[in-house]
Amino acid sequence: MRHPATGTVRLHLEDPLPRDLEMQLMDVSASGFRAAHRSTALSCGQSVRFHHAKGAGSARVAWNLVLPDRVETGFMVVRQGIE
Q: Each residue's pLDDT tens digit in the chain (83 positions)?
A: 999 999 999 999 988 789 999 999 999 998 999 999 999 889 999 999 999 998 999 999 999 999 999 999 999 999 988 65
Helix (H, G, I), strand (E, B) or coil at 8: strand
What's the confidence (pLDDT) of residue 57? 96
Spans of all domains in the chain: 3-80
What's the confidence (pLDDT) of residue 25? 98
pTM over 0.95: no
Q: Any idea which fold 3-80 has?
A: Thrombin, subunit H (2.40.10)
What's the confidence (pLDDT) of residue 54? 87
User: Is residue 9 classed exposed, middle or buried when 0-12, 13-18 and 19+ CB atoms within 10 A define those classes?
Assistant: buried
CA distance 81 to 50: 10
Other C-beta atoms closer than 10 Å to the C-beta of 25 total: 19
